[in-house]
Amino acid sequence: MAIKTVGVIGAGTMGNGIAQVFALAGFSVRLVDVAQPMLDRARGSIAKSLGKFVEKGKLAAADRDAAMSRLTTATAIDQLGEADYVVEAIVENAEAKGALFTSLDAIVKREAILASNTSSISITLLGAATKRPDRVLGMHFMNPVPLMPLVEMIRGHATSAESMRIASDLCVTLGKTPIEAADYPGFIANRILMPMINEAIFAVMEGVGTPEAIDAVMKLGMNHPMGPLTLADFIGLDVCLAILDVLHDGFGDPKYRPCPLLRRMVAAGQLGRKSGRGFYTY
């Protein structure tokens, strides 16, 4: 089956980047979110991001216009009946994603692949919420999607080799590099990244250093391009907490226990960049 129409669900930080790269690669993209303001904002962010590529001479204005014309938005998934491939990028919550996959399964054509951009939730569990677990897989894009080359590809227990091949080929078409990971909590990327971010937050809580000092140590001493607290703000502190909860529950190991300061900041609505306040002010 040739993939022509792609559905992207969730128009937040990740969904709008994912919609952008598919539209730019020539796919007809339907971006769905329950919140109309998020769809309006996503359209604006995509136009702005493509505009920057044009300014830098990396993209022709005509190609930007063509990409924008391939992008449509909707507030309900029943608009995805014709999609050949779907990428889900809603909140990092297993119940919400499971319910969405069950609904999607009833709407999207049988042969279509349903991919999740989840950072940590079991792909096997999402597959089991559908009648097509062989066609459910993880397609974990990195933030910011238009710039980051990696896509971590997660094979659920029942995902077929054919589905993995189709999805990996699709990554290459998008100009990305697919790397496969098994279906364990946090896969490869967040199993390694989140404990570091969590430890940096413990260091703030215990007064080992200020956020600025901790980020500077990791940048200047470890050659990281961005300090862990800047990165946490960039990812979203609510997303970091959700991932750490999945690691903690999934492995049952106290070493993944989310830092109480992180929990408190999320409860206070300090979610990082997207809320204007996190370890830094934006």
Ligand X SMILES: NC(=O)c1ccc[n+]([C@@H]2O[C@H](COP(=O)([O-])OP(=O)(O)OC[C@H]3O[C@@H](n4cnc5c(N)ncnc54)[C@H](O)[C@@H]3O)[C@@H](O)[C@H]2O)c1
Q: Rounded to an integer, what is the distance from CA 155 to the centroid of its chain?
A: 16
Among 29, 46, 80, 100, binds ligand X (CB under 6 A): 100
- Residue 92, interface with ligand X (CB under 6 A)? yes
- Residue 33, interface with ligand X (CB under 6 A)? yes
Q: Structure tokens of 224?
A: 């990281």
CA gap 125, 159 in Å, rounded: 11
CA gap 117, 20 in Å, rounded: 15
Residue whose CB is less far from ligand X, 45 or 63: 45
- Residue 119, interface with ligand X (CB under 6 A)? yes
- Residue 136, interface with ligand X (CB under 6 A)? no
- Which among 80, 165, 151 has a CA at the least distance from the CA of 117? 151
Among 123, 193, 200, 239, binds ligand X (CB under 6 A): 239
Among 3, 6, 8, 11, binds ligand X (CB under 6 A): 11
Please identify which of the residues 88, 117, 152, 163 carries the catalytic annotation.
152
Q: Minimal distance in Å, beta carbon 277 to ligand X? A: 16
The answer to whether residues 100 and 9 touch, using CB atoms and an 8 Å cutoff, is yes
- Residue 118, interface with ligand X (CB under 6 A)? yes
- C-beta neighbour count of 282 within 10 angstroms: 11
Name beta bridge partners: 153. 139, 180
Angular region, 142: left φ>0, alpha ψ -120 to 50, beta rest: beta
Residue whose CB is less far from ligand X, 33 or 84: 33
- Which among 219, 186, 25, 192 has a CA at the least distance from the CA of 120? 186
Number of residues binding to ligand X, judged by CB under 6 A: 26
Q: What separation, in Å, do the N-terminal and C-terminal C-alpha atoms of the chain show?
A: 45
Task: Assess whether 190 carries a catalytic annotation.
Answer: yes
Please identify which of the residues 16, 28, 119, 198 carries the catalytic annotation.
119
Task: Give the per-residue contact string, 166-185, with ligand X (x = CB under 6 A; - = no).
Answer: --------------------
Positions that interact with ligand X (CB under 6 A) = 9-15, 32-35, 38, 89-92, 96, 100, 117-119, 140, 143, 235-236, 239
Active-site residues: which are they? 119, 140, 152, 190
